[in-house]
Structure 1
């Protein structure tokens, strides 16, 4: 029986019927433009490419010189509106968000993105783009809460030619209520930290961590150091490598303070930092030894190994307020 049939039968539709009706309303936005004939605020340019490569630690020679191309993963960067936003965004996206907000799905988190590259972008290319609301999922329940996944597809053009496609997916959700302790029952044990994904490309790194050694990959062909670990050199593409052990000295290159959303095994607020090792590579890590609001760019930190539980040791960096 449909929701309309339930109304005709003289009874209120149940939760599932109401959710289906609301999802039908949401899917009416599929295929509607989120932005039409958008224009990148700047052409593809060398300074932005340099900033990106410095932030990512990417020294690939293809991104420098007279024949430079932009890193493919910068595809979305050329379409972003910055603090002032874009004036060419359509009303459909705002209308969709208003519906979701009105139904109580007021929180938002980015979940994933997919990119397809059709031709390289080069300095001087003028960027235009069109975005469409590609799909809105039925109601889903996640650890964060219950809501709908919204996927937007952006087609990026360079001097009129399709250069790539960027799909960006978010979850608009109602946060899950925090668990409450039941009277007379013992508190639940604290959740374990998530396990790292260990594979053939990074197994030696985690074995080193288990031995309280922070190992950095070194290309044996060109001696370039790299982190995180990769199956091949991002400077010369050689698959051959060995390792050097980090001395343990580093400085905070950048950081964020996580307040929300809360995750099991983490107690917000806490600082997540990108530290630059003395050897020149950078890694994402936690900062210990100082309150989260005392972490600063340029702060010297020192490697330590923190045992999280019986079978997990993590490399972290300790700072000092002195």
Structure 2
């Protein structure tokens, strides 16, 4: 590229970014009203789906789980009407500049007051920031951050920030295949003070489940405190190894070193009542079924790493 061509390209990027910055602070859409009051049935369904038994979310003085903040703003299958705003304009501008792909990168929530059954929810959102042009492994584009303010009875209850990357996909050459003699290793688990005991058990081919020593509720994955009563005191019980497939997905893409897609990843409900995510082995990936009985075994992934997996008894 000539020097003049390079300068022209830089100038065009600068001009685009100047236009993008004008969208900061503008409403993403018209203000909205929650379709339902904060209510006990939705709280109960949420807690059941999340396996959250915290007593604060039930009873006469119940509050809603803070992480439900955005749920009260959702429009359901029919959506929220009259919500078009600056966000659609911004997306169209980025599409026109070649940034046609989008990926969510992260979200942040801040809780300022608890929500209780009967609260009427209102919300509004703005484009908080648009980043300069960034180059990532996915491609080159701009990070767009929106902020939603959620109010109960007119009082600010919390904020929800959501960030996406609008980008032009990078052209990538095919990844070189490893030499046949080189076997890539599985990713190492992140071991910290809260879960070290679990991995010590796995190294001994024991699947350990935490148990609260105050209320005796079992919990998995390992946590510093009890969801049921809040106690920090705990011991462990060893799983029998019996379980069933509660749910599963088949992984096709993207490929990772040391994995050979397609393969089945299951949410296994242990006989003790807790659930664990692991691989289902012993049958082809397309023969895995919900309700299928499985049995714990330990896979020696490499000389340094053993992993719990679950073997199905046979094919349908």
Q: TM-score range by the shorter chain?
A: 0.7 to 0.9
Q: What residue in structure 1 maps to residue 188 of structure 2? A: 195
Q: Given that residues 115 and 165 in structure 1 are in contact (C-alpha distance below 8 angstroms), is that contact kept between their aligned partners in structure 2? A: yes
Cα distance, 1:314 vs structure 2: 2.6
TM-score normalized by the length of structure 1: 0.85
- Secondary structure at the aligned position of 1:317 is classed as strand
CA change 1:225–1:318 in 2 (3 A) is: same
Cα distance, 1:269 vs structure 2: 4.6
- Of residues 59, 62, 65, the one that matches 2:53 is 59
Q: Given that residues 33 and 90 in structure 1 are in contact (C-alpha distance below 8 angstroms), is that contact kept between their aligned partners in structure 2? A: no
- Of residues 282, 303, 309, the one that matches 2:275 is 282
Matches within 5 A, 1:157-172: 157-172=151-166
Mapped partners of 1:30, 1:265: distance in 2: 44
Cα distance, 1:118 vs structure 2: 0.9
Mapped partners of 1:287, 1:40: distance in 2: 41
Cα distance, 1:263 vs structure 2: 4.9
Q: What residue in structure 1 maps to residue 219 of structure 2? A: 226
TM-score normalized by the length of structure 2: 0.86
Q: What residue in structure 2 maps to residue 309 of structure 1? A: 302
Q: Given that residues 308 and 314 in structure 1 are in contact (C-alpha distance below 8 angstroms), is that contact kept between their aligned partners in structure 2? A: yes
- Secondary structure at the aligned position of 1:89 is classed as coil
Deviation digits for residues 35-94 of structure 1 (CA, Å, limit 9, x no counterpart): 332122222122221121112111111111121111111111111223332224233212
Mapped partners of 1:312, 1:127: distance in 2: 49
Whether 1:241 and 2:256 are equivalent positions in the alignment is no
Mapped partners of 1:285, 1:97: distance in 2: 38
Matches within 5 A, 1:93-108: 93-108=87-102
Structure 2 gap ranges (5+): none
Whether 1:251 and 2:244 are equivalent positions in the alignment is yes
Q: Given that residues 130 and 145 in structure 2 are in contact (C-alpha distance below 8 angstroms), is that contact kept between their aligned partners in structure 1? A: yes
CA change 1:138–1:312 in 2 (3 A) is: farther
Cα distance, 1:179 vs structure 2: 3.5
Query: Over the residues paired in the alignment, what is the CA RMSD in angstroms?
Result: 2.9
- Range with bigger deviation, 291-300 or 225-234: 291-300
Cα distance, 1:127 vs structure 2: 1.4
- Range with bigger deviation, 279-288 or 268-277: 268-277
Cα distance, 1:226 vs structure 2: 0.9
Mapped partners of 1:104, 1:265: distance in 2: 35
CA change 1:46–1:260 in 2 (3 A) is: farther
Mapped partners of 2:306, 2:117: distance in 1: 44
Mapped partners of 2:277, 2:9: distance in 1: 43
Q: Given that residues 57 and 282 in structure 1 are in contact (C-alpha distance below 8 angstroms), is that contact kept between their aligned partners in structure 2? A: no
Q: Given that residues 276 and 282 in structure 1 are in contact (C-alpha distance below 8 angstroms), is that contact kept between their aligned partners in structure 2? A: yes
Matches within 5 A, 1:8-23: 11=5, 13=7, 15-23=9-17
Mapped partners of 2:111, 2:175: distance in 1: 50
Q: What residue in structure 2 maps to residue 146 of structure 1? A: 140
Cα distance, 1:166 vs structure 2: 0.9
Q: What residue in structure 1 maps to residue 109 of structure 2? A: 115
Mapped partners of 2:180, 2:21: distance in 1: 42
Cα distance, 1:21 vs structure 2: 3.4
Cα distance, 1:16 vs structure 2: 4.6
Q: What residue in structure 1 maps to residue 120 of structure 2? A: 126
- Range with bigger deviation, 64-73 or 146-155: 146-155
Whether 1:69 and 2:63 are equivalent positions in the alignment is yes
Cα distance, 1:291 vs structure 2: 4.2
- Secondary structure at the aligned position of 1:53 is classed as helix
- Range with bigger deviation, 250-259 or 85-94: 250-259
Q: What residue in structure 2 maps to residue 81 of structure 1? A: 75
Aligned length: 314
Cα distance, 1:192 vs structure 2: 4.0
